[in-house]
Amino acid sequence: MPFFGAILWGTIIATLFVPLHRRLLVLSGQRPNFAAFLTVMIIVAIVILPMTLIAASLTREALSVYEKVQSGEMDPVRFFKQVHDASPAWASTLLDRLGLESLDAVQRKLSAGLLAGSQYIATQALSIGQSTFDFIANLFVMLYLLFFLLRDEETLSRRIRDAIPLQAEHRQAFLLKFSIVIRATVKGDMLVALLQGTLGGLIFWFLGIAAPLLWAVVMAFFSLLPAIGAGLIWIPVAVYLLATGAIWQGVVLIIFGALVIGLVDNLLRPILVGSDTKMPNYVVLVSTVGGLATFGLNGLVIGPVIAAMFIAAWDIFSATRESAEDNVTIR
């Protein structure tokens, strides 16, 4: 269990990079050890190192935000007051109906939330510093496992297929669905989220908004949730900019968010994910949030995979039952 995450991501990365390993195996003259080692080194160079550098930069930025909040340099209560004072009459009426007419009450809620949030950031940063050994151990287990998963890919795949207690066609359907969902979730959903977060962070940096990397990560996270998306972050920021007199910055953010960040999901996701794994948005939302609640960050993949495997089982059993009923009717 302590290495659950390492085993999971070793399996996921192996599934994603099997095509590359097979190509390198041919180029290396069928030398499995060399091909697997070279594949692992490529994965370290293009995936592990960049993610580690981003995580380190994110930790520094989060600590910087925490320090600014503690010193009073960054005060969300003041930001809310500026928006409240600049709001038109209809907006003030709406706030009254929502029970936010008392600025003091809102300030108390924001202060309490801010204190809890800043304490969480500080605690997580300290935890990261104290768990360096755990990180290294998990990384070693993941890379070690990854090497053997790639090297022995054909043997392991055959043994897994043979062990599944289903008919051959059902077995193949399950394994194919698992592989497709893994690739779609990581290659499709996560790449789209990464791109949307990157674009959001860049426009925040261009407009001079504090902590652009931190906001980029938050937008990338929300991009994984259908019907919510990165707009949950950039729209309130755009409203704040407009309400506080930064008109051109607010307009630029709205245009960029709607035409660039928003369209990335509509244009790229169908290309990267395809139609084979298309699930209803409510299933994706519930499975993603439920996966996060149950498994932490690993649930971003585990949740949709469980949902997709359930749907695959549903389809297989439904088809089997229909076939049996047809046979009975014919007889």
Q: How far apart are CA 211 and CA 74, in angstroms?
A: 11
pLDDT value, residue 111:
56
**N- to C-terminal Cα separation, the chain:** 52
Side chain identity at residue 134, one-letter code: D
Q: How far apart are CA 210 and CA 216, in angstroms?
A: 11
- Cβ partners under 8 Å of residue 243, min gap 6: 82, 83, 86, 87
* Residues 181 and 42 sit within 8 Å (Cβ to Cβ): no
The alpha-carbon radius of gyration of the chain (Å, integer) is 24
Residue range 219-260, pLDDT digits in tens = 887 777 766 677 788 888 888 788 777 788 888 888 888 888
pLDDT value, residue 300:
79
pLDDT value, residue 97:
59
- The structure tokens 């790639």 sit at 150
Q: Residue 147: pLDDT above 90?
A: yes
When the pLDDT of each residue in the chain is averaged and rounded to a whole number, the result is 75
pLDDT value, residue 145:
92
Q: Residue 184: pLDDT above 90?
A: no
Question: What is the pTM (predicted TM-score) of this model?
Answer: 0.66
pLDDT value, residue 263:
78
Q: Residue 102: pLDDT above 60?
A: no
- Cα dihedral across residues 261, 263, 266, 267: positive or negative: negative
Q: Which residue has the higher pLDDT, 70 or 1?
A: 1
pLDDT value, residue 272:
62
* 46-53 mean pLDDT: 82
Q: Residue 186: pLDDT above 60?
A: yes
Q: Residue 42: pLDDT above 70?
A: yes
What is the per-residue DSSP string for 54-84?
A: HHHHHHHHHHHHHHHHHHTSS-HHHHHHHHH
* Residues 39 and 32 sit within 8 Å (Cβ to Cβ): no
Print burial letters for 31-41: b (CB count within 10 Å at least 16), e (below 16): ebeebbbbbbe
What does the chain come to in residues?
A: 331
Q: Residue 69: pLDDT above 90?
A: no
Residue 72: pLDDT band with limits 50, 70, 90: low
pLDDT value, residue 229:
75
pLDDT value, residue 256:
87
* 162-167 mean pLDDT: 79
Residue 313: pLDDT band with limits 50, 70, 90: confident
